[in-house]
Structures are given as structure tokens and as C-alpha cells.
Chains A and B, each alone.
Chain A
Amino acid sequence: GESVGLHLPTLSVQEGDNSIINCAYSNSASDYFIWYKQESGKGPQFIIDIRSNMDKRQGQRVTVLLNKTVKHLSLQIAATQPGDSAVYFCAERRFGNEKLTFGTGTRLTIIP
């Protein structure tokens, strides 16, 4: 069946280190991928997106990598800060389908 999932439900990282959050997807027709951040008590916020014709996209302190061969997506956060503590969701969309399918989320905890 179709699914979007994350490898680990929780991740703890030392402040200042880099964080890598992974996501696997199963639908080879997926052509658009997004990462969202959800802080406690708030709705998800867009972080970065990538289309299937790209392998890598960089934003401010964040990088998304897409490996279509193994259907794997990752979010890298450089120099992790306390404000990065949140749940991170990946989401995917198939070409021609307006619905986003979300993963179950990874909770990132920053250790001071």
C-alpha cells in the first residue's frame, strides 16, 4: 500500500550539532515533497520543499535531500538550536493529485 513514514519517532541532538531526520515513501509516482515543523500547541509550518526533478535543495540552515532510487527523503538542520525542538513531518504528493500524504512525524529534542 501507499505510505509515507519516518525511520525514528524521536531524535535527540546536542545543541550546535547537525540534525538529520529521515523519511521513506513508497509511491514512485510522488513528484513533490515537503517538510513541516510543528511546535507544541501550534499548527504545522512549512520549512522547505523539493520537486522530484531535484536531488537537493537548501534553505536557511536546512537542506532537503531526495533519493528517488530508494524512495528516501531527509531533512538536515545545521547547528541545531533550542528553537528547533518540534515535531517534523514529511509529506508527499503525486503528480495530478492535490492531496498531501503526511508521515507520522519525528520529535526532535535539543539537549543543551
Chain B
Amino acid sequence: DVKVTQSSRYLVKRTGEKVFLECVQDMDHENMFWYRQDPGLGLRLIYFSYDVKMKEKGDIPEGYSVSREKKERFSLILESASTNQTSMYLCASRRFAGELFFGEGSRLTVL
């Protein structure tokens, strides 16, 4: 069974804190993605990675950074969390040009 695992399902952080969201996939996929999901806005792409140590900005990268040191792991980093980053964060992976497999999501609340 294919699996994309997001380390935290629910997080509560304070404004200004540094936040790490971890994602691991066990399918040896080349491509990995981070989306955020907000009511009425659908899924918006934050960053993606074609391969290890590679990263590309998505549609809303401001306030975020990413790290991909190993093929199976893609981390999303909020250097200084703000209340407008309260959202559901979804990680996904796929083989080149294949279908996307999503994790269960990490719901982040920034107070």
C-alpha cells in the first residue's frame, strides 16, 4: 500500500515560532509537494521538489521554505509563524507525471 505520512495531524503554535512540518513517502517517488487548503480557496501549491536537494516555488511560497535532503522526506518550514498561516497543510508525492498521492494533512493553528 502506498503511503505518505505527515508527522503531525494537529499543531498549535504561537506567532513568531518556527514550525517544521515533516512528510515521508515510502514509494520512492521523485516528486514531492506541499499544499495548503483553506475553505473556499481549494488547494494552493506552496513548494514542490523534483528530486533530492531540488526545490521550486509554487503559487504561494511567501513565508515558507522547504528542505529535501533525502528522497523520501520533504519538510515544510515556517520561519516565523503568523496567524494567516493557520491552515490545513497537505503533502503529496508522485512518480514523474504520475498521479498524486496525498497524506492525511496537518492542521496548524497559529495563535
- Chain B residue, CB-CB nearest to A41: B104
Q: B105 to A99, Cβ gap below 8 A?
A: no
Q: A49 to B90, Cβ gap below 8 A?
A: no
CA distance A102 to B58 in the complex (A): 13
List residues of chain A with CB within 8 A of the CB of B58.
Answer: 99
Chain A residues 82 to 110 lying within 8 A of chain B, measured CB to CB, are: 89, 91, 98-100, 102-105
- Chain A residue, CB-CB nearest to B38: A104
Q: B42 to A43, Cβ gap below 8 A?
A: no
**Chain B 80-111 against A: per-residue CB contact (8 Å), 1 yes, 0 no?**
00000000001010000101111111000000
List residues of chain B with CB within 8 A of the CB of A104.
Answer: 40-42
Write the residues of chain A forming the contact surface with B, with a CB cutoff of 8 angstroms: 4, 9, 34, 36, 41-46, 49, 89, 91, 98-100, 102-105
CA distance A91 to B43 in the complex (A): 10
Chain B residues 1 to 58 lying within 8 A of chain A, measured CB to CB, are: 4, 31, 35, 40-45, 48, 50, 58
- Chain B residue, CB-CB nearest to A48: B99
Query: Given A43-B4, A98-B50 in contact, is the A89-B42 Cβ separation under 8 Å?
Result: yes
Q: A44 to B99, Cβ gap below 8 A?
A: no
> Nearest Cβ in chain A — how far from B6, in angstroms?
8
